[in-house]
Amino acid sequence: MLDVAGLRVSFGAIEAVHGVSLRVRHGETHCLVGESGCGKSVTALAIMGLLARGARRRAERIGFDGTDLLALSDRGMGRLRGSRIGMIFQEPMTSLNPAYTVSSQLTEVYRRHRGGTRAAATERAAALLGRVGISAPGLRLGQFPHQLSGGLRQRVMIAMALMCDPDLLIADEPTTALDVTVQAGILRLLAALQAEMGLALLLITHDLGVVARVAHQVSVMYAGEVVESAPVAALFARPTHPYTQGLLASVPVPGKLRRGQPLDPIPGSVPRIPPDFVGCGFRERCRFAMPACAVAVPLRERAPGHSYLCQLTP
């Protein structure tokens, strides 16, 4: 469904994403995991063609269901956005326009891409609000965003992304800004909608708990690169890249951890990658680092669908 290869995004001299390859299949939830600042959101915006001014996007391939997004004009991209590719943002508090009611924002997307009467669009909006778990959709349709709570707004955002029956949904940390109980509800909803509508879902998160619950395929990003990509069971059972191993080791597991026992964090923090950097971005924090890490790193395949970017062999 979505096929990205060799995606690079640079802001001036800084390359925020260098060489990301991703493949999201029809009806699959693909999680993109990584620390803050590793380039997850920029990757999503680059796929949508919504990078800020001053950013440069290059890629070997960005394909969506047989369409080459790199060759597509702005207008062609505009026709895809919102109709065949939906997107949900991190901040539900600011992602809805405060000047319009829920109803007018929902129907507008639908009528832009599908046309039809206002009444038909409103009916669809009400049905979708019900589907995303909002009780009294009729009441909510007439309300303004400031009258809704964060969880409700995120549900409205999801409904908005689904108005035109997209094939691909990109969700950029949809639960980060919400509190824990609401997070669970939103995730369950996304997983249910994904299964029910056969969506391809690209879910960006830094929460490994989320990954374990909803993902089929996982890509781990570090400093602008996908360092490991694997089916979810394989990733948790046999993490291969030292960064993935460190990431999994640093998550506290209830029951396994005694009170007062320190967690096992990855030493150091995400480095700034200079523009002419070659080799493995993780080598300065890696306990297995060797001289060979300073030259180009091979992409190795451990099992079908499980690849990683490291000098080590499993």
Partner 1 sequence: MLRHLPTALGALIVGAALLAALFGPSLVPHDPFAQDLLRRLVPPAWLGGDAAHPLGTDQLGRDYLARLVYGARISLVIGVVAALTSGLIGITLGVLGGFFGGWVDDLVMFAITCRLSIPLILVALAVVSAVGSSLSVVVLTLGLLLWDRFAVVARTTTMQVRRLDYVAAAQAAGASGFHVLWREVLPNIAHHLVVVATLEVALAILLEAVLSFLGLGVPAPLPSWGLMIAEGRDYMFFEPWVIMVPGLSLFVLVLGINLLGDGLRDLLAASRDA
Question: Is residue 149 close enough to count as binding partner 1 by CB under 8 A?
Answer: no
CB of 94 to partner 1, least distance (A): 4
Question: Is residue 227 close enough to count as binding partner 1 by CB under 8 A?
Answer: no
Question: Is residue 89 close enough to count as binding partner 1 by CB under 8 A?
Answer: yes
Using CB under 8 A, pick the residue from 73, 75, 237, 255 that binds partner 1.
Answer: 75
The two three-digit tokens of residue 29, written as one number: 């939830």
Tell me which residues in 243-272 interact with partner 1 (CB under 8 A).
none
Q: Of the listed pieces 4-12, 25-33, 78-86, 186-194, which binds partner 1 according to CB under 8 A?
A: 78-86
Question: Is residue 94 close enough to count as binding partner 1 by CB under 8 A?
Answer: yes
Question: Is residue 157 close enough to count as binding partner 1 by CB under 8 A?
Answer: yes
Question: Is residue 124 close enough to count as binding partner 1 by CB under 8 A?
Answer: no
Query: Is residue 81 exposed (0-12), middle (13-18) or buried (19+ Cβ within 10 Å)?
Result: middle
- Nearer residue to partner 1 within complex by CB, 113 or 306: 113
In angstroms, the CA 183 to CA 174 distance is 8
CB of 217 to partner 1, least distance (A): 23
- Nearer residue to partner 1 within complex by CB, 100 or 288: 100
CB of 24 to partner 1, least distance (A): 17
Q: Of the listed pieces 80-88, 188-196, 212-220, 301-309, which binds partner 1 according to CB under 8 A?
A: 80-88
Question: Is residue 146 close enough to count as binding partner 1 by CB under 8 A?
Answer: yes
Q: Of the listed pieces 30-38, 106-114, 237-245, 303-311, which binds partner 1 according to CB under 8 A?
A: 106-114
Q: Which residues bind partner 1 (CB under 8 A)?
A: 48, 50, 53, 75, 78-83, 86-87, 89-91, 94-100, 108-109, 112-113, 146, 157, 160-161
